[in-house]
Chains A and B, each alone.
Chain A
Amino acid sequence: MIHAFYSISAAVALVSNVFLLSLLINPDPHPVGVQAAIWPKPAYACQGHRTIQVSPKFHFNLPHDAHPRLVEGAARFRNRIFNSDFVSPVPIRIEDAEVEDRSQVGTLKLKSLAIDVEDRTGNIALGLDIDESYRLAIAYDEDPDTEFELDAAVCKQIAKEPFGPGFKGILKAKTIYGALHGLETFTQLVTRNPHDGTKEIAQTPLLIHDRPLFPHRGVLLDTSRNFLSMVSLYRTIDAMAMNKFNVFHWHIVDSPSFPIALDDQVAEGEDEDSGDDMDGIEGESGNNNGEHVYKERKHRIQTSTRPNLPLSQLAAKGAFSEKMVYTKKEITDFVDYAMDRGIRVIPEVDMPGHAWSWSKAFPEITTCLDGFPSYSRFSAEPPSGQLNPVHPKTYQVIQGVYDQVLPLFKDKFAHGGADEVNFNCWNATASVIDLMERKNIPRSKEGFDRILDGFTERQHKMLRRAGKRPIVWEEPLLAHDLATIKENKDTVIQVWTSAENIKKTVRQGYDVITGSADYWYMDCGFGDWLGNWTMGKSWCAYSDWQKAYSFNPLQGLNTKESKKVLGGEALLWGEQVDNTNLDTKLWPRASAVAEVLWSGNSDDSLTGLWDGRKQNKNTLRTIEALDRINEHRFRMEAEKILAEPLQPLWCVKNPGHCNWPILDTKPEDLES
């Protein structure tokens, strides 16, 4: 469906195949492509050569019954348009400047942009299936809905259209979230004239038809290893909106700290907890045909009452300090703030591994704490500590945590974690061994897989009962082959160790979220943080923006398989990240991820050629993207996001001069 839409612009892709060609050969004097550096690049854009002014009285024309979220959004963008003193450091390309007609700058003024949203109510919930497309036109009597063959010839025709005083701006979208993306694009189109401060839009008339390649475009932040303040998180949402990201994956609890402040759980109903160890495992292992017994017991657990649990102690004892916690109010406000910007917040309370932080409040539900003499027997990094899968209280606490945490997040998805579960740990836990011996479960990988499956089944039941579709890291499927996952094909798998695993996952029929350590881990390359390793390198190599940009989540998949790829995430793990360097580590490299997920890294991606075949390296549009990402970096900086520079400023201001030497042209005879 998406790809069918893009196939209409096949011709466009050929023209704007910029790699080398645009540098070495004088390109088409009327290039088709976005020149105002819109990031991420729209799926389709067609532009003329006239510069117009944005009237100081400019306003957004909203339907009278517009959703408040859109009304507020429009006000926000109007503010940004008129209050920002951002001027792009990237000069307009000479060939574009030559054909640009500025003769009517003083007389052609855009007074308004009419916004038309099909879903007037705004009641369509933000979710995976939301329509984020929009159509933007600044043209004379041009209806952006006009269906016509958008190709180079048509674009040339548009560029020549008479452009009288009756021209107008129209933004059409199916949902308010599409409209918000359209407003971001429009805002990026408006540039500030550095001489008189007026606002202009170059290269009109223009038509943009835009929609994302992938519905899940996320950023993962880890707030457990180092604390991130709410200010930092809000700022990240702002930056994400500028990059058309729509998922904030909040890795909120991990081993080092438990930063959510929960309330104590007060008992309700009769307490009939039996204290029997690991009911699920017993049912499954004690009798291979005892499925009914198992289900019955599960049912009992599900309906079992809530005991008294001092859940407030999780943060009181497990957070770094009393200030380094998120209150429920802070979280719900944050979720609302993100939703106002079209961003879903998906929480992850990692378990059963990565759980040391639970131990201070509930030592009995955790095991192999502070592994001695070696944490590495029990966990990937210190501190070691895993939930005890055979202790009944484990599940009471998880249920108690979920009861309070999950309702704070309105999204239909929740991340169940389940990465790096360490079987050495359980194999060194007396109660687990004891149960396995009693139930005659072999203490082999297969045996522990069954233990993990029992845990996962109960955990996912809790998630589903709370109305959440579970996402898990890749191990439950690829390393442990858990029955729970096998039986629930709607479980979403997040691949992280290697891009190779995407294929394995989709071939088994699962929806997949990509973003693996080989391309999209933003924390890689900053040295080993473990204290004594002078030669230490990160376990994974640094991904500069070019490497991040080169990743194609659909590499090697056929069309059918491609549809199982929901999208991907830029992941910034927190070992060496906190408020001080969050922005610089994330931006603008995550912007490269954003564009890949929105419109791909090649113009092939807009034509439907991107999936199902080996990507042609020559169509990778890194060089074309450079000027845009350089500008976008400064745009983000103007919005107080501390995105780091990618190049010396001279390179930014002299496009084409800082390419890898092999791309250089031959030298001219300098002194003749």
Chain B
Amino acid sequence: MSKKNDVRPLSKGSYSPLSLHDPDTILDDSSAVRQQYISAHDNENSSDDDDMDHNAQRRTSIEIEPTPITAGSSSSSTIHGTSTRRPTSQQRLQSPDEDIHNPDGDGRGGNGAGGKKSTHWGRNWIRYVAFACITGALVLLITLLVLRPWQQKQKLLPITNDAVKALPENQPIWPVPKSFSHGEGAEKVILSPNFQIKVQSSVNSPSIALAPDSILAKAIARCMDRLQVKRNTTIWSTDVIPPSTAATAAAPLAELTLVVANTQAKLEYGMVESYAINIANKHAENAEGAPQSLVNLEKRALHHLASLRARAEPESPPATTAVVTASTQWGAIHALETFTQIVVATKATTANAPSASPPKTTNNQLEIPNIPWSIYDEPRFSHRGILLDTSRNYVGVPDIIRTLDAMAVVKLNVFHWHVLDQQTYPLVSKAFPDLTAKGAQDPEKIYTPQDVAAIIQHGLERGIRVLPEFDSPGHAASWGRAYPNLTVCLDALPHGTYAAEPPAGQLDPLEPFTYTVLDTLVKEWSGLFPDAQAHIGGDEVNMNCWKTSKRLSDYISNENHRAEYEKAIMPVVDTQSDNTNPMTRTIAGRQSGEDKLLELYLDRIFAMFIAQGKRPIVWEEMALEHNVRLPASAIIQVWKDATNAKKVIAQGRPVILSSSEFWYLDCGAGAWLIGSQGQSWCKFASWQRIYSYALTDGMTEEEQKMVYGGEICMWGEQTDSSNLDSNVWPRSAAAAEVLWSGTKDAQGHARSLLDASRRLSAVRERLVQMGIRAAPIFPSWCAKHPEACLVED
């Protein structure tokens, strides 16, 4: 995937260098699209803040109303309905200037050589179109006037929102749980130095002894490590707070009980990740919010006795219970992460230590303030990912491992590994070792099967799926280094004509050897990557490239010759369609020769993956820009305009959302092609921008079900080990909260950016503490005074 040097879809063919050199054009284009998006979303926002925007809109439209232009646009919706006269009358309202743009307007009739009726309809049709264009332009103009994009001052999300329940300041859980309740600071519980975590399969069963290398045992060990770090830390100020004055439950918390029904759940799309946490003093257990699973008669009776005794003998301390319930180990892993985030370290030394001699090491006290805590949490979307491109610049295995560690902290669960692309082929193949030997940039910058296994295992232990992407048939120049006959237009110049970015090169769909190699590789990959889904790429296929081959252009232009070419590659793969997964075409109309050629390739590559039991994911062009058939099971990843999501869903296909308007982490770092001082093709996405990506806004409930989730994308043109962390974090955490918690809370209220900025800076410190070089989002001063760090008008 490149999407780098050119905003225009490359399928438009001829390329105009002038527009490339005019960043303003590019910016205007994208901002207009964004503007439409914003206007669509603003209308649905119900918060106070946006009401103000509506008022502004109303005011402006009142000013404009007396002009005929608005009158025309206001009734535009009925024009296409029943009346045929109405457009004419509407049109007369247009100013003379606009009439000029309509060559078929009144007074120019009499050119009807054909049937009168059809001419009339034809004329009207043109008129309707012209009228629609004009009204459209006017609506856009008014929208622009109202929203004033040149001022760039819209606030999509409220600064503060009292309707949304906030987490306590020193317990900044990220992403925010679906529902939670907690005490108001009156009570806290201290973690015993011997604190431990026990696992049970149900509430009353005895604790299970876990195998030390089991997923759950490792998660528990990690949790204990994190707590130990909290005990020792001295650096990060907001994590360590002065001891609170809250009352302490007399007995320290000695154990956390982890009730996990199924510790062997499969790691897959749609897995159950919900969990509940309850931390309460026993005398409060009957209070509302106690988990259903804990409530049974026997326990209640015992507790009743205990509380009676407590009342009778006040010196006997009440005990605190901490219980996590989860159906699967995945939920339990998330619960442990949340648990560490509500544990607070308080300074063991006095708060007013002299600055001259800060303590070298401290042994902080760990406590959970604001008990009783009750949390029920589950993700809004099941597919929550980061895309990492390791082909354009190599990212070391330790860097990937570190990224997985950080992903677990914010409950992301898909590592979309864009492992192959046009620049390098770093994934070692056993069957075709030359692919890497000649296609990698450096014999050390490769991924061996052992590396892949280690990454998959590391992900598995954290509930993170490793989803590989084998981008083809475009972006494949690196395949041609070892096997030039696999590719066409290898290194063709000017690269801008033949590929989205250098070097050019695409797989040759009429070369039998292509399928020989692919068939072997797909089997090899399927053994390597256990996930039930696989990303097949399909972005930015360039027809100019294919047309450089005589064979391919003959296939494209000469329908009669096709059968012969197809016969040549026929024996290689069986493409008989599977009844359970029929191939469906989603674009009506005649198929071009180019798309026919693409379909020829796709039929085979889909068949290979489906034969290996993989559900395919492809980039949006396959559904929106090419008339090709796709398996019914295919998932479409949207990367261009955010509005394309609805277009794909309208085809009945599920989507993963990664619009470059919001979730491209590489944008804004300047053009990396040399010879221009241009800006990136897409704008830098600040964390606020990322946080404002309303994935499902404007969708019906049915449409929303087709949104499987989203991914934030780190393309690698200007990113490698040196700046990976600071480019990805903490901005990806903003996407993680959108994906886990949704853009709104359970009551439908939009979250507050002020609260988010405070919690996000805590996430950032958390990540830095773990050795991830997450960048600061604002001056440290603002971390302590977020309310003072707001934009003002």
**A-to-B contact residues, CB < 8 Å:** 89, 225-227, 255-257, 261, 312, 315-316, 320-325, 370, 373-376, 382-383, 525-538, 541-547, 550, 574-581, 583-585, 622-623, 626, 637, 642-651, 653-654, 657-668, 670-671
Q: Which residues of A contact B497 (CB under 8 A)?
A: 661, 667
Most A-side CB within 10 Å, residue of B672, B676, B781: B781
The 9 closest A-B pairs by CB, nearest first: A544-B670, A527-B686, A661-B496, A664-B494, A650-B423, A581-B726, A256-B781, A531-B757, A584-B723
How long is the Cα–Cα vector from A315 to B548 in the complex, in angstroms?
68
Given A532, A538, A626, A657, which contacts B503 in the complex, CB threshold below 8 Å?
A657
- Cβ–Cβ contact A534 & B674, under 8 A: no
Residue from the list A312, A541, A637 in contact with B679, Cβ < 8 A: A541
Contacts of B492 in A (CB 8 A): 667, 670
**Shortest distance between the CB of B399 and any CB in chain A (Å):** 12
**B237 contacts the other chain (Cβ, under 8 Å)?**
yes
CA distance A46 to B391 in the complex (A): 38
Please report the C-alpha to C-alpha distance between residue A665 and residue B424 in the assembled complex, in whole angstroms: 23
Per-position contact with A for B349-367: 1 when CB-CB < 8 Å, else 0? 0000101001000000000
**Contacts of B744 on A, CB cut-off 8 Å?**
none
Q: For residue B717, which residue of chain A has the nearest CB?
A: A648
Q: How far is the CB of B151 from chain A (nearest CB, A)?
A: 9
CB of B785 within 8 A of CB of A663, answer: no
C-alpha spacing A538/B684, complex, angstroms: 9
Q: Kindly list 20 other residue pairs between chains A and B, CB separation below 8 angstroms, not including A312-B355, A535-B156, A660-B674.
A: A323-B358, A373-B792, A375-B788, A527-B686, A534-B157, A534-B686, A542-B670, A544-B671, A544-B672, A580-B776, A581-B776, A623-B675, A637-B722, A645-B722, A648-B716, A650-B392, A659-B674, A660-B675, A660-B676, A666-B493
Asked, given contacts A529-B777, A533-B688, A536-B152, whether A320 binds B237 with beta carbons under 8 Å apart, the answer is yes
A322 touches B688 (CB 8 A): no
CB distance from B727 to the nearest CB of A (A): 8
Return B493 CB to nearest CB of chain A, in Å: 4
The residue that A375 contacts in the complex, of B503, B718, B773, B792, with Cβ under 8 A, is B792
Selected interface stretch from B13-21, B112-120, B127-135: B13-21
Given contacts A383-B785, A526-B686, A544-B670, contact A531 B498 (CB under 8 A): no
Contact B779 A525 (CB under 8 A): no
Q: In the complex, A534→B750 CA distance in Å?
A: 13
Is B738 part of the contact surface with A, judged by Cβ < 8 Å? no
CA A382 – CA B792 in complex, angstroms?
11
Asked if A649 contacts B423 (CB within 8 A), the reply is yes
* Interface members, chain B 608-652 (any A CB < 8 Å): none
The answer on a CB contact under 8 Å between A578 and B353 is: no
For residue A257, which residues in chain B have a CB less than 8 angstroms away from its CB? 780-781
Known: A580-B775, A650-B424, A662-B21. A534 touches B781 (CB 8 A): no
B235/A323 in contact, CB under 8 A? yes
B contacts with A: majority SS: loop
Quick check: B21 and A626 within 8 Å, CB to CB? no
Using CB atoms, name the residue of chain A closest to B6.
A661
Who on chain B is nearest to A519 by CB? B677
Task: Tell me if A374 and B792 are in contact (CB < 8 A).
Answer: yes
* Residue in chain A with minimal CB distance to B358: A322
Chain A residues positioned under 8 Å from B768 (CB to CB): 580
30 A-B residue pairings within 8 Å (CB atoms):
A89-B441, A225-B779, A323-B234, A325-B355, A383-B781, A528-B688, A531-B778, A531-B782, A534-B688, A535-B152, A535-B155, A535-B156, A536-B686, A546-B674, A547-B677, A579-B773, A584-B726, A622-B675, A644-B722, A645-B393, A645-B718, A646-B718, A648-B393, A648-B672, A649-B720, A651-B423, A660-B5, A661-B20, A665-B493, A666-B493
Task: Decide if A527 touches B679 in the complex (CB within 8 Å).
Answer: no
Knowing A225-B779, A534-B157, A581-B726, say if A544 contacts B393 (CB, 8 Å): no
Bound-state CA distance A536–B687 (Å) is 10
Question: What are the residues of chain A within 8 A of B757 when measuring CB–CB?
Answer: 531-532
Name B187-212 residues within 8 Å CB distance of A. Answer: none
Q: Which residues between 661 and 714 of chain B lie within 8 Å of chain A, taking CB atoms?
A: 668-680, 683-689, 691-692
Given A322-B353, A658-B673: A528 in contact with B791 (beta carbons within 8 A): yes
Whole-angstrom distance between the alpha carbons of A315 and B354 in the complex?
12
Indicate with 1 or 0, residue by residue over B526-570, a CB within 8 angstroms of chain A CB atoms: 000000000000000000000011100000000000000000000
User: Which B-chain residue is minimally distant from A384 (CB atoms)?
Assistant: B788
Q: How far is the CA of A48 from the CA of B779 in the complex (A)?
A: 52
Question: Does the CB pair B423–A648 fall under 8 Å?
Answer: yes
Inter-chain contact A644/B775, CB cutoff 8 Å: no
Q: Are B776 and A226 in contact (CB under 8 A)?
A: yes
Expressed in whole angstroms, the Cα–Cα distance for A444 and B539 within the complex equals: 61
CA distance A285 to B142 in the complex (A): 54
Chain B residues 375 to 412 lying within 8 A of chain A, measured CB to CB, are: 392-394
Inter-chain CA distance A322–B357, complex, in Å, is: 9
**Complex CA–CA separation, A498 to B586 (angstroms):** 53
Within 761-790 of B, Cβ neighbours of A (below 8 Å) are at: 768, 773-782, 785-786, 788-790
Q: B residues within 8 A CB of A647?
A: 672, 674, 717-718
CA of A316 to CA of B358, assembled, Å = 12
A526 touches B670 (CB 8 A): no
Q: Which A residues touch B719, using CB under 8 A?
A: 644-645
Cα–Cα, bound, A189→B117 (Å): 83
Docked-complex contact A535 and B689, CB < 8 angstroms:
yes
Task: Tell me, in angstroms, the Cα distance from A600 to B494 when the chains sit together.
Answer: 30
Contact status A532-B722, CB under 8 Å? no
Of chain A, the residue at the smallest CB distance from B18 is A662
In the bound complex, how far is the Cα of B610 from the Cα of A271, in angstroms?
90
| Chain A: minimal CB distance from B8 (Å) | 12
Cβ of B754 within 8 Å of any chain A Cβ, yes or no, is yes
Nearest residue (CB) in A for B158 is A532
Q: Does B428 touch A at the CB level, under 8 Å?
A: no
Q: Are A530 and B493 in contact (CB under 8 A)?
A: no
Most buried by A among B157, B424, B773: B773
B153 lies within 8 A of A535 (CB): yes
Answer whether A662 and B424 are a contact pair too, CB < 8 Å, given A642-B722, A648-B716: no
B154 in the interface, Cβ–Cβ < 8 Å? yes
**A89–B692 Cα gap in the complex (Å)?**
40
A545 and B677 CA atoms in complex are apart in Å by 8
Q: In the complex, are the beta carbons of A580 and B789 less than 8 A apart?
A: no
Q: Are A662 and B780 closer than 8 Å at their CB atoms?
A: no
- Name which residue of chain B comes closest to A530, CB basis: B791
The answer to whether B674 and A527 touch across the interface, beta carbons within 8 angstroms, is no
Residues of B within 8 A of A324 (CB): 780
Do A657 and B495 touch across chains, with their CB atoms under 8 A apart?
yes
> Is B778 in contact with A533, judged by CB distance below 8 angstroms?
no
B689 adjacent to A581 (CB under 8 Å): no
List residues of chain A with CB within 8 A of the CB of B779: 225-226, 256, 529, 574-575
Closest residue on chain B to residue A325 by CB atoms: B355
Task: Note all chain B residues with C-beta closer than 8 A to A89.
Answer: 441-442
A-chain residues with CB within 8 Å of residue B502 when the two chains form the complex: 650-651, 657-658
A556 to B717, CA, bound (A): 36
Contacts of B680 in A (CB 8 A): 542
* In the complex, residue of chain A having the shortest beta-carbon distance to the beta carbon of B424: A650
Closest to B490 in A: A670
Q: Which residue of A lies closest to B788 (CB)?
A: A382
- Residues on B with C-beta less than 8 A from A542 are 668-670, 679-680, 684
Q: Is B599 an interface residue (CB 8 A)?
A: no
CB <8 Å contact, A322 and B355: yes
- Give Cα A534–Cα B680 distance, bound, in whole angstroms: 19
Q: What residue in chain A is nearest B719 (Cβ atoms)? A: A645
User: Would you call B261 an interface residue if the criterion is a C-beta within 8 Å of the partner chain's C-beta atoms?
Assistant: no
Q: A382-B781, A658-B673 are in contact. Are A528 and B686 (CB under 8 A)?
A: yes
Whether the pair B777, A547 counts as a contact (CB closer than 8 A) is no
The complex places the Cα of A550 from the Cα of B502 at a distance, in Å, of 24
CB closest residue in chain A, given B672? A647
Contacts of A322 in B (CB 8 A): 353, 355, 358
Provide the residues of chain B in CB contact with A529, threshold 8 Å: 686, 777-779, 782, 789
In Å, the complex CA distance between A430 and B20 comes to 56
Give chain A nearest CB distance to B57 CB in angstroms.
17
Smallest CB-CB separation from B489: which chain A residue? A670
